[in-house]
């Protein structure tokens, strides 16, 4: 019997392992229980699991299979889903769906899921049979792109939207249908697909490989390493090496942090692949790269809730204070960081790995699903006063919908681990685990984090000797332990495991109390911006629903909320130094009742200087409201100075609004349509919580703005003050240049408005004019984050 290691469970399936499977060079020291052996009990995790199962059962496989069939020359059985599934990344959801159903089938035993899994695999096998060479996908024009690759053109895939990323989801889905759901046909499909991948990349030189891998390609190296583990055939491991991008592997293995500006989730799946290859081969270069990546991301680039990135990208850790935007902490990133963390734990069962795992699971992952309807969110806004939006069930299908399907299907995979003689309890989640080899069941009853105690009850057919290791988290002090009501001596201390070695009998009860305490955690490189936690639970301030009725909580556009104006968050104002003192905790009082909630009294002040009481709740429960996570910690004098500056800015904004005649909002469809946008070599996007437009290399964009023909007019343009590169451009009104502009660190780390006087002759007698931003040759125009036509100020 061999252990087939997967990212979500160690599955013991002798009938599936096969004689040809490969033995890892780095053997795991502990293994998790299969998801079939763990059942969630009443609590928030079981609730999330049930919502996810309902969604998986509600989805129509034939709609997800639409493009697979049509690409194979077969008639579709149902119309395609909307959103990303009707775009260039079509098919990525199907792979996640197959993985999620396989996990959920193990987690619940629901036979309806097995029927859907088998049906999906049969359909993929049919499409694969029609292709004749093992290829199968839902990618529009995928065959043509991969034919370019086969001809030796590594940039062939750049004509599409991340085709290898999309293919990786199918590889992973087939792997999981085989390993978790026991479908042998999925293994056959997976091997055929892997052989096709070998054939299609055979003619690429190292240089062409390097070009191809500049595009996001998911965890292709991980899944191909898994195919090697399943079959024992070296050719699959060789291809896994090829898919391990040297541009990331080499600096990470040399402990060089080169991540600034890199797309975050493009990198994390590659690193999971590095660790998988290390475990299979023992090559320290891969293991070192994976460990250093984890270390620098967790220590330097991770927010309190466990997530990372802003607008999906890593940024300079020294600039973290400038990145509390509406588009922080993408859920796919954490999904993958948890996979990586779990892999590390299996070969090095240290409590330190679980500190991060618990933080991210209880805060960001549990928060990533709407507890009402079960939709998924893409990003977790850390913008003060921000809020969350969730996926429409049939018209979104973002990447974080796919990983979301999986997240809530596999909660049972890390609560417990074991070796031959020890059972580890890592997470405090109401659940039951069956240790078949020992003939016993352990039931964990807990209301954590609403209560600080968990109770574990043993059910055994006969007395059984083993060691129970209970995680003693670093965040607790004063933990206490009893067995059948008798106090026990703790064997470790915070940040480790306390052990009980004995012969356990049926009905034995362990009571494990871990007192939680208020603490604060600074934003990286910004000690006066702090999150408040209770134990591992990040507390968010409830800021109500001001203005949220103007947008649905269920959307197709995952970033639609990021540019909504937000009310200012209160500050925590006192003379206490939060870095050295915990005296501030006296102002935070737990609210009565069984649910975890607090109220800050006598310390919060709004921007008018008035004291305000702040309700604090777990971040995972900050749903359908505005909230704040990082609080400005101010002395009374500093807060007065900041309020004075805010008053000045508010007066400026009021004056600007009163003088505004027309406003162009870039990258907003309605505004750009209403203002007749036109241009060449122009692009738009989102950055720093706002939307922008620019033009490149002599290109331009232009639009119409209303004027007042009876007075002098001005243009007011909003720019980002830390722009770099060659940004030189002209501003024209009705074809006449009124100004030239260079953007180069004009006002670092802040947005600023620049006013341009318009000669009276250009607006006299006109109700509208055409405004153009024209880039110089080889340079860029913008980005612009907003343009207003205003009446000239009195002091012009």
**Is there a single domain that holds both residue 401 and residue 425?**
no
473 and 387 fall within a common domain: no
Question: For strand 554-555 and strand 390-391, is the pairing parallel, antiparallel, or unpaired?
Answer: parallel
Cα separation of the two ends of the chain: 84
Residue 524: inside a domain: no
Same domain, 395 and 442: no
What local confidence, expressed as pLDDT, does residue 795 receive? 63
**Measured over all CA atoms, what is the biggest interatomic distance in the chain, rounded to whole angstroms?**
97
Residues 410 and 422 in one domain: no
- Rounded to the nearest integer, the mean pLDDT of the chain is 94
Q: What is the DSSP string of 620-635?
A: GG--SS-EE-EEEEE-
Q: Which of 184, 259, 197 is nearest to 225 (CA)?
A: 197
Predicted local distance difference test score (pLDDT) of residue 15 = 34
Residue 591: other Cβ atoms inside 10 A: 12
Band (156; pLDDT cuts 50, 70, 90): confident
Cα–Cα distance for residue pair 709/706, rounded to 1 Å:
9
Task: Let me know: does 143 contact 167? Beta carbons within 8 Å.
Answer: no
Q: Quick one: pLDDT at residue 563?
A: 67
pLDDT classification of 535: cutoffs 50, 70, 90: very high
Both 98 and 155 in a single domain? yes
Residue 770 lies in a domain: yes
- Residue 601: CB partners within 8 Å, gap ≥ 6? 587, 588, 589, 613
Which residue segment(s) compose the domain that 161 sits in?
3-414
Same-domain pairing of 376 and 438: no
- For residue 362, the tally of other CB atoms under 10 A from its CB is 26
| Predicted local distance difference test score (pLDDT) of residue 338 | 98
Average pLDDT (704-732) is 95
Residue 35 sits in a domain of what CATH number?
A: 1.50.10
**What is the total count of domains within the chain?**
3
What is the reported pLDDT for 26?
A: 96
Structural contact between residues 599 and 613, judged by C-beta atoms closer than 8 angstroms: yes
Among the listed residues 288, 277, 207, the one whose alpha carbon sits nearest the alpha carbon of residue 239: 277
Q: Is residue 479 situated within a structural domain? A: yes
Query: What's 144's DSSP letter?
Result: H
pLDDT in tens, 667-683: 988 889 999 999 999 99
* 537-561 average pLDDT score: 92
**Residue 174 shares a structural domain with residue 109:** yes
Which residue intervals of 386-522 are DSSP H helices? Answer: 399-407
Domain contains 652:
no
Mean pLDDT throughout 149-167?
Answer: 93
Please report the pLDDT score of residue 169 as a whole number. Answer: 98
Q: What is the pLDDT averaged over residues 204-213?
A: 96
Cα 54 from Cα 547, distance rounded (Å): 31
Look at residues 488, 513, 538 and tell me which one is the last residue of a structural domain. 513
Using CA atoms, how far apart are residues 154 and 480, in angstroms rounded to an integer? 60
Q: What is the pLDDT of residue 9?
A: 38
**Can you read off the two tokens belonging to residue 104?**
């959920």
Which contacts (CB < 8 Å, 24+ apart) does range 646-650 have?
A: 646/568, 646/607
Taking residues 662-668, what's their average pLDDT? 91
Question: Is 605 among the domain residues?
Answer: no
Burial class (CB in 10 A: 0-12, 13-18, 19+), 74: middle
* pLDDT the model gives residue 794: 67
Select from 513, 529, 554 the last residue of a domain: 513
The percentage of residues in the chain with a pLDDT greater than 90, rounded to a whole number, is 87
Is the pTM of the predicted complex or chain greater than 0.95?
no
Could you say which of 464, 498, 513 is where a domain stops? 513
pLDDT at 415 over 50: yes
Q: What is the CATH number of the domain that holds 504?
A: 2.60.40.1180
How is residue 661 written in tokens? 């005649």
Which pLDDT tens digit goes with each residue over 64-73? Answer: 999 999 999 9
Between residues 592 and 654, the one the model is more confident about: 592
Q: What is the pLDDT of residues 503-516, one digit of tens each?
A: 999 999 999 999 99
Question: Who's near 201: CB < 8 A, 6+ residues apart?
Answer: 149, 150, 209, 239, 242
Residues 224-273 pLDDT 10s: 999 999 999 999 999 999 999 999 999 999 999 999 989 999 999 999 99
Quickly state the pLDDT bin for 605 (edges 50, 70, 90). very high
Q: What does DSSP say about strands 713-720 and 786-791: parallel, antiparallel, or unpaired?
A: antiparallel
Section 576-601 average pLDDT = 95
User: Tens digit of pLDDT for each residue in 51-104?
Assistant: 999 999 999 999 999 999 999 999 999 999 999 999 999 999 999 999 999 999
Indicate whether 124 and 234 sit together in one domain.
yes
Q: Are 65 and 94 in contact (CB under 8 A)?
A: yes
Confidence of residue 10 (pLDDT cuts 50, 70, 90): very low
Pairing between β-strand 38-40 and β-strand 3-5 as defined by DSSP bridges: unpaired
For the stretch 297-300, contacts whose Cβ atoms lie closer than 8 Å and that sit 24 or more positions apart, written own/partner, are 297/259, 297/268, 297/337, 298/337, 298/356, 300/257, 300/524
| 14: pLDDT strictly greater than 70 | no
Same domain, 395 and 476: no
Q: In a 10 Å sphere around its CB, with 0-12 CB exposed, 13-18 middle and 19+ buried, how is residue 5 labelled?
A: buried
Phi, psi of 719 (to 5 degrees): -125, 165
Q: What is d(CA 555, CA 561) in angstroms, rounded to the nearest whole number?
A: 9
**pLDDT number for residue 510:** 98
CATH of the domain at 760: 2.60.120.260
By three-state DSSP, how is residue 200 classified?
Answer: helix
**What's the angle, vertex CA 211, arms to CA 250 and CA 727, rounded to 5?**
95
Is residue 573 a part of any domain in this protein? no
Residue 438 in 3-state DSSP? helix
DSSP state letter for 312: T
Does residue 120 fall inside a structural domain? Answer: yes
Q: Are residues 745 and 787 in the same domain?
A: yes
Do residues 295 and 227 both lie within one domain?
yes
484: how many CB neighbours lie within 10 A of its CB? 10
Residue 322, pLDDT > 90, answer no
76 shares its domain with 12? yes
620 found inside a domain: no
């Amino acid at each position: 019997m061999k252990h087939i290691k997967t990212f979500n469970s160690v599955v013991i399936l002798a009938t599936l392992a096969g004689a040809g499977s490969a033995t890892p060079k780095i053997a795991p020291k502990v293994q998790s229980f299969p998801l079939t052996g763990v059942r969630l009990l009443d609590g928030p995790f079981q609730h999330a699991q049930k919502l996810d199962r309902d969604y998986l059962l509600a989805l129509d496989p034939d709609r997800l299979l639409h493009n697979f069939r049509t690409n194979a020359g077969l008639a579709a059985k149902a119309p395609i889903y909307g959103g990303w599934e009707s775009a260039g990344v079509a098919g990525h959801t199907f792979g996640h769906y197959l993985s999620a159903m396989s996990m959920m089938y193990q987690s619940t035993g629901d036979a309806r899921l097995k029927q859907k899994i088998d049906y999906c695999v049969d359909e993929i096998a049919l499409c694969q049979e029609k292709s004749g060479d093992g290829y199968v996908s839902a990618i529009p024009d995928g065959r043509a792109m991969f034919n370019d690759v086969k001809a030796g053109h590594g940039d062939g895939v750049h004509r599409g939207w991340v085709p290898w990323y999309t293919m990786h989801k199918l590889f992973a889905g087939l792997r999981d249908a085989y390993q978790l759901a026991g479908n042998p046909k999925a293994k056959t499909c997976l091997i055929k697909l892997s052989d096709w991948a070998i054939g299609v990349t055979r003619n690429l030189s190292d240089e062409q490989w390097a070009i191809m891998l500049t595009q996001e390609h998911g965890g292709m190296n991980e899944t191909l390493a898994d195919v090697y583990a399943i079959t024992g055939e070296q050719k699959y491991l060789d291809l896994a090496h090829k898919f391990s991008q040297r541009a990331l592997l080499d600096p990470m293995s040399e402990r060089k942090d080169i991540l600034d500006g890199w797309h975050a989730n493009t990198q994390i799946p590659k690193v999971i692949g590095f660790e998988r290859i290390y475990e299979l081969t023992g090559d320290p270069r891969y293991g070192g790269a994976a460990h250093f990546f984890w270390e620098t991301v967790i220590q330097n680039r991770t927010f309190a809730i466990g997530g990372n990135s802003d607008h999906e990208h890593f940024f300079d850790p020294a600039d973290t204070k400038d990145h509390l935007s509406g588009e922080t902490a993408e859920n796919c990133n954490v999904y993958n960081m948890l996979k990586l963390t779990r892999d590390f734990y299996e070969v090095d069962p240290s409590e330190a790995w679980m500190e991060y795992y618990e933080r991210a699971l209880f805060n960001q992952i549990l928060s990533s699903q709407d507890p009402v309807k079960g939709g998924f969110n893409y990003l977790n806004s850390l913008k003060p006063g921000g809020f969350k939006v969730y996926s429409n069930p049939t018209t979104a299908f973002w990447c974080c919908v796919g990983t979301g399907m999986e997240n809530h299907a596999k909660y049972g995979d890390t609560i417990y681990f074991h070796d031959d003689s020890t059972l580890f309890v890592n997470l405090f989640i109401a659940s039951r685990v069956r240790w078949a080899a020992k003939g016993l069941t352990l039931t964990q009853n807990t209301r954590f984090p609403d209560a600080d105690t968990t109770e574990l009850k043993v059910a055994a057919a006969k007395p059984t000797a083993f060691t129970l290791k209970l995680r003693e988290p670093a965040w607790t002090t004063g933990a206490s332990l009893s067995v059948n009501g008798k106090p026990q001596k703790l064997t470790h201390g915070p940040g480790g495991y306390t052990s009980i070695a004995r012969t356990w009998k049926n009905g034995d009860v362990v009571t494990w109390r871990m007192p939680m305490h208020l603490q604060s955690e600074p934003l990286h490189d910004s000690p006066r911006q702090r999150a408040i936690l209770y134990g591992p639970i990040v507390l968010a301030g409830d800021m109500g629903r001001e203005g949220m009725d103007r947008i649905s909580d269920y959307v197709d556009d995952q970033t639609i909320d990021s540019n909504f104006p937000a009310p200012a968050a209160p500050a925590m104002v006192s003379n206490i130094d939060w870095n050295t003192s915990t005296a501030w905790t006296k102002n935070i009082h737990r609210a009565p009742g069984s649910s975890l909630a607090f109220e800050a009294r006598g310390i919060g002040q709004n921007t008018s200087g008035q004291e305000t009481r702040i309700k604090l709740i777990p971040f995972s429960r900050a749903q359908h409201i505005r909230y704040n996570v990082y609080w400005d910690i101010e002395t009374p004098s500093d807060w007065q100075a900041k309020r004075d500056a805010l008053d000045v800015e508010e007066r400026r904004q009021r004056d600007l609004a009163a003088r505004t005649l027309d406003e162009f909002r870039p990258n907003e469809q309605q505004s750009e349509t209403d203002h007749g946008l036109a241009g060449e070599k122009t692009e738009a996007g989102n950055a720093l919580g706002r939307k922008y437009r620019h033009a490149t290399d002599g290109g331009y964009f232009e639009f119409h703005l209303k004027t007042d023909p009876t007075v002098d007019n001005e243009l007011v343009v909003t720019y980002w003050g830390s722009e770099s590169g060659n940004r030189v451009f002209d501003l024209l009104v009705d074809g006449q240049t009124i100004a030239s502009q260079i953007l180069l660190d004009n006002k670092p780390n802040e947005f600023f408005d620049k006013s341009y006087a318009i000669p009276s002759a250009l607006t006299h007698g006109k109700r509208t004019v055409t405004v153009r931003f024209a880039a110089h040759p080889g340079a860029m125009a913008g980005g612009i984050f907003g343009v207003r036509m205003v009446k000239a100020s009195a002091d012009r």
